[in-house]
């Protein structure tokens, strides 16, 4: 084997290793990383928005964020949205909230096509 073909073999081997390192794991579905308000928060001032930051990119058309009162009345405006320039932030605006407990329902499809959803609450004093 001459030097040229040996070099070619080593280079192609390195490329295979490199592409393996940057492969996104198949289980990279999206889970909440943090939120505003925080999960279970007791708030003196009613929030005007709810934001959830995810640990992976989410699909805009399939991702939903809805907030309901403890009586099941929807208090968020629209289905939730991903702000321009963001990939992993889901947000919704809220109607003015009287004191009470509010449930946040989220449902997203990650870029890998996997669905995750959950529910948490916060309280306005
Ligand atoms: Cu996944």
Mean pLDDT of 4-31: 54
Tens digit of pLDDT for each residue in 46-77?
Answer: 999 999 999 999 999 999 999 999 999 999 99
Which residues sit opposite 118 in a β-bridge? 106
Say if strands 89-94 and 49-54 run parallel, antiparallel, or are unpaired. Answer: antiparallel
Task: Report the CATH fold assignment for 26-124.
Answer: Immunoglobulin-like (2.60.40)
Which helix (H) or strand (E) covers residue 122, if one does? Answer: strand 115-124
**3-state SS class at 68:** strand
What spacing in Å lies between the alpha carbon of 122 and ligand 1's midpoint? 28
Measuring CA to CA, which residue among 57, 115, 112 is closest to residue 88? 57
What spacing in Å lies between the alpha carbon of 12 and ligand 1's midpoint? 30
What spacing in Å lies between the alpha carbon of 63 and ligand 1's midpoint? 14
Rounded to the nearest integer, the mean pLDDT of the chain is 87
Which residues sit opposite 81 in a β-bridge? 91
* Domain spans of the chain, in order of start: 26-124
The model scores a pTM over 0.85: no
What spacing in Å lies between the alpha carbon of 1 and ligand 1's midpoint? 44
């Amino acid at each position: 084997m001459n030097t040229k073909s040996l070099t070619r073999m080593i280079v192609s081997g390195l490329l295979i290793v490199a592409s393996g390192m940057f492969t996104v794991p198949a289980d990279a579905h999206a889970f909440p990383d943090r939120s505003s308000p925080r999960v279970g928060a007791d708030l003196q001032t009613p929030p005007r928005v709810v934001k959830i930051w995810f640990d992976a990119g989410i699909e805009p058309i399939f991702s939903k964020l809805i907030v309901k009162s403890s009586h099941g009345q929807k208090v968020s405006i629209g289905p939730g949205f991903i702000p321009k320039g963001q990939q992993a932030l889901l947000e919704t605006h809220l109607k003015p909230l009287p004191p009470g407990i509010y449930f946040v329902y989220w449902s997203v499809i990650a870029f890998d096509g996997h669905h995750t959803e959950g529910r948490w609450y916060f309280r306005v004093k």
